[in-house]
């Protein structure tokens, strides 16, 4: 949704996303290895997402991670992704630095 002043406002209702497990990812590992690209978001438990990324990376699959909804990522996530996609809110959370101006972004 969008707030009254035009800012993005994310609403989460995890539902069945919380049921996905590392064992489920392992069971799908052959499909992951055959992919050309694996696109991940942080809508399932981090350890589940990370395992899928690790399987894909080991197989030479391009791994795109959109850190949304934003969490502080361990270095393992950065090592396992080919492309990291973040917006300004996610970038601020990850770096601890403001990114509201071009100068701040370049820093």
3-47: per-residue pLDDT in tens? 788 877 766 676 788 899 999 999 999 999 999 999 999 999 999
pLDDT at 82: 98
For 45-90, write each residue's pLDDT tens digit.
999 999 999 999 999 999 999 999 889 899 999 999 999 999 888 8
Decide if 48 contacts 22 (C-beta within 8 A).
Answer: yes
């Amino acid at each position: 949704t969008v707030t009254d002043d035009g800012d993005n406002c994310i609403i989460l209702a995890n539902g069945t996303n919380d049921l996905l497990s590392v064992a489920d990812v392992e069971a799908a590992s052959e499909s992951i290895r055959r992919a050309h690209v694996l696109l991940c978001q942080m809508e399932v438990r981090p350890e589940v997402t990370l395992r899928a990324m690790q399987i894909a990376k080991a197989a030479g699959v391009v791994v795109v991670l959109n850190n949304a909804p934003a969490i502080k990522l361990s270095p393992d996530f950065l090592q396992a992704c080919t492309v990291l996609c973040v917006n300004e809110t996610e970038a601020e959370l990850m770096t601890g630095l403001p990114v509201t101006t071009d100068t701040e972004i370049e820093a």
